[in-house]
Structure 1
Amino acid sequence: MIATERVYVDLYAVPLVEHWRVQLWADQQNHAAHTHLAIGTTGHHQQITSPTTLLPNTLLVWDAQLWTLVNLGEKTTTLLPEVGQPMQLPTAFFLQLFDSGTINIHNSEAHATINEKVRELMDAASPTDLQRANHRFHLVQAYFQHRTDIYKDIPQSTLSRWVKQFREAEASFGCGYVGLLPRTATRGNRQPKAPTDASNLLDQFISEHFETPRQAPAASVYRAYTRACCAANITPLSQRTFYTRLKKRPIHEQTLKRQGAKAAYATEPIVLELAKTTPRHGDRPFAICHLDHTQLDIELRSQVTGRNLGRPWLTLLIDAYSRRILAVYLTFDPPSYRSCMMALRLCVQREGRFPQSVVVDGGKEFHSVYFDTLLARYHCIKKTRPGGKPRFGSVVERLFGTTNTEFIFNLLGNTQASKQPRQLTKVVDPKQLAVWTLADLYTYLSEWAYTIYDTSVHDSLGETPLQVYTDAIAATGEREHRRIAYNEDFLMATRPSTPKGNAKVQPGQGIKVNYLYYWNDAFRNPVVEKTKVSVRYDPFDMGVAYAYLEGRWVKCISQYYSTFAGRTEKEVLLAAQEIRQQDKRNAVSTNISAKRLADFIAAVQEHETLLMQRLRDLEAVGVLENVTPNNEGVPQFPRVSTLDPEIEPHGQDDEQLPPLQNNVELLDLTRLPILGEYR
């Protein structure tokens, strides 16, 4: 920067190797101005002080810098600068500088008062003002030194005025240089010339008619202003004045009043850095993690029928310190506590650790009883970021964009073309180009997140997330006491309970969870009957539930197990909702029972909503198989082997099969019977 003259350094002042003494300036004009400032301050009011008054720790001024006198010896004098190493001078040379006025004793009280005013004048000066002041200072110094050859071409009156201004500033501020600064900005009448009534009325119309949620156009507001002026017999201000005053209004407050808080958030001042010691975001891995959801910009198909199933939802858990992705979960269901549970399950399964604090937004899924209970169980602090302020979650929000640009936008079926619907044609329609299934997308998305992204250099870190994570773990400790075993106890903690948290054991029927009765032979115990027990269920398999009996969790089987085995909680709740709507249309009272639910789900082929949910749940099986090792706890859905009995099943060489075409007859679930498992 010195070589390219982006900053200025006086190369003749001190050697560059003595970096603690080198002063950097924005440009040469600033250097000359401050050099003249120091000369003007000390040049004509040198203090007459005897060297015998120089005691240790006395503050000295030398070359516009403060020095501390450490020791005044017979042969050597030691000075300590504000920044840098001590410097030793021969005492004779030091006294010579002191006698000549090059070194002076620092007057702290007067210096503080004078410096405040001098600093204000210097800060208000432009580079052009400094250049003109430097020229005047050079001529005034020549006048004091009686060098007439330098100022012979300057009019005597002009030079006398500059000398007078220099001496007045020297007497008032202790610095004559600031008296030579041009006063062009203060010339003329600086008071507003517009009539007071018209000006006040204009400000009133801007605040009451323009800066409102109505968002009236500026031209309409000005026309209304002119009509009001004519009615009040006041001369209106010009349209140019109106628009000039609009531009001078604070942008953030104006946007807030016209468009609301979300639109004004972009113009809100940001805090770039609190202090030099502030960590970038947490001081170690797992200290702060971000959990959030987004809908991916890609259309997916069913692996069973080839039917378009829409866009999936992605759930990410990211470590804020290392920017490492700790968990990736993909599902067709909108954000819910189930997605949060699966993300935390994945984190414990892969890393064996639980976050110390989790940053979430104001979504309902992050404020459910199940989610809060799980965090409290493993001593995790939940921090909710303000609504409508994405900068508080910029770590995970930025990663959503990176996922799209680096991975999703390179796949067939991405929805970039649908961003402009007027230009969308059948050839580029993402719904027509969709070829990916949920399970395949999850496999490759996990490989990208856990391998490619993890080992790529991050722009903000300067290293790979994996390297930052590894180095931080080595520096801050493994923290083995916070490790969590991925076992049945942890899985049970991630299973939700009912709103009440318990259920009453009915003799001969068992416990009731989500309209279904569940039974275990342990309920035959007379001590257990008609008592309330803690219950939990698996949201991905409504065929089973769990009850806490005699100090342990026991597995309970539902009524009509063949129908509800492998059904998700959302599918059962959708069926209950449809039954309510049918009863409402038929004007009968709603009494939802397990038999009605089973009969309704058995007729799923006649119902479009549940059929679509069933297809999406079938797609989720592939994701759950990748998440859960050895298929433990994964509901086993019925499988369909072939479309036509005359077609022989294909062997291992699946890649040689032709791709699914539009003219191939797809599997019609409406013609297939509902198959189940019997025990």
Structure 2
Amino acid sequence: MEGSTMGRISLGSGAKFLFDDRSFVIMEELEEDNFECKNLASGRKKVFPKQFFYEALEKGEIVFSEEGKNTTEEVIRKNIGADFSKLPDKQKDLAKFRLFAIEPLLALEDVKSLNPYVDARLAELNDGGYHHKGYNFSRASIYRWFKDYKQSNCNIWSLVAIYDKCGPKGKLINREVELIIQKMIDQYYKRREAVNPKDIHELVIYEIDKINEFRIDKEKLEYPSRATVYRRVQGRDQEDIAKSKKGGRFSYMKYLQVKLQKKPDRPLQRVEIDHTLLDLFLVDEEKKIPLGRPTVTTLLDVFSGYPLGVYFGFEPPSYTAIMHALRHAISPKNYIKELYPEVENPWLAYGLPDLLVTDRGKDFMGDNLEDACAQLNIKLEHLPGKRPWYKGAVERHFRTINQSLIHKIPGTTFSNIFEKGDYDPKKNAVMSLSQFLKVFHIWLLDYYAQDTNKGVRGIPSKIWESGIKTYGEPDIPTSKLQWEIALMKMESRTIQRHGIRMDNLFYQSPALHTLLRKIEVEYRNKDVDIKYDPSDLGKIYVYDPFEKTYFDVPCTNQEYALGLNEYAHKVYQRIANAEFNSVDLSALARAKKKVTDIIFDGKSFVGKIGRLLGVGSNQVFSDKPVRNQETVPSKSSINKNINIFEGVDTTNWRATSARKY
């Protein structure tokens, strides 16, 4: 089985997908959020509702095809694809340099002549001494990298050296189709303000249909995806912005200087992420023991002011929190009506960001996030230190949570109680995580998203809907399993006869044993790349360099490891070492039992119980199975009299202001 690479697609005409072992292509977007699709084998047509695609993707039942070099084969295959992060450092570094080399040119695509821009960029690279740093480049190579990257829908795999060893080759956009796209942009987009990128895509399809009417099947043109057409339109827009200034090298450099500060003009163009600690103690649902104070990790769409995703957990800022928040952000929020029937409005925002903006916290600066973003084709930007105003949208959102939600909880505030040290969490903490999440969803979707937001000068839900209507559906991953693995933490381990050992846990399977035999024949080095979810050590994913795929390998002690988080495992190891002078599985199990007994007796670990138990919002909704549900229309007005605490016992609730890390 050959592997595919991780990619992103926009749901619309021309998108290919595999479902129930059958390949389809979306032919046309119909009214009422339906799509007419054609079976590529039989030619039969079938109508699928939009919600079907999102639910099937969430369940891992559908895989989308990609376009371009080093991406997906023309024949769609269902598999776990090649991971950019597993490449040798030299290959990754070279691919990232190539992206860096062409990055200023990407906003200038489809210009009549790239020559002055390429020459300007070449001069910059020469002035920067990159030849002396070991990078080879020329005018021709910059042109080639630019072409490959654009024709692969901006997939970083197209910039990886030794293409035949990095992934399956794909079909490039037909030159004739490219000319049709440019013709429609020239003829309609620049002359009629009412025409948007979605209209251009439909006009392109209409033109292709007219041409195909007189051609035999094997010579017919294929539809480009909506994402492809949108990128062509966007590139033409940026070209006009540059030309409206002084032209030549000056306008090119001037545009580069101001582009990062430009206000987003569409959803997902700029997304900010950050953490904040809530001064609110939560309790265990059943035992009512205090879990500690939750930290919320939020991704906010700057264009609309609409939250893209959240994660509430009890660990301090970490890649684990970032991973769960990204998972929630990318996924359509199909769980709302099942878990929270009281909520009147759907959670509209989802999809892959174009740009993810972070501060310079160590949790954001590691290799895990950098490689995940590269694999998901998300540009990552770390802001300069001590400049929080560069990330003002998410900062304002945290203040709104504090003032509009936390301070509305009945009862007195904590004031300076934490500083005085006289707060008793057992006495005051009465709200469970599930209760808080219910209140949060009502507040967020029925109040915050429906109210006027001064930062975006409008209502977030309406701005999001308007942006999607104009620019098309958000990009989504081509495969659920691929993007989940892309977000996991990465390590390198050696395969032994007994399997793989990671932090005194052992992982073994027949597939791993088969891989070991193949490696012993082909290589001397038995090291392999692995991915794992730090919130569940029950299994790891091992990269097969021969098949270019990942496969899962379970822990040999599922009773201990299933659902166990990385932090708790480290605590159990310390206890096993200190009290039992051993870290074998028996000692770990005894340590785990001892800690569990102490937790539920309420004798210790106050403030860290939630982290030890691995409690987080991902357990409540992110990983829930998706069921069919009716799409709820967004309300056009806000209910100012909404009682977000209806049905929840709020006696003795306490809170203080939310604190920023």
Q: TM-score range by the shorter chain?
A: 0.3 to 0.5
Greater RCO, CA 8 A, separation 6+:
2
Larger radius of gyration: 1
What TM-score do the two structures reach when normalised by structure 2?
0.48
What TM-score do the two structures reach when normalised by structure 1?
0.46
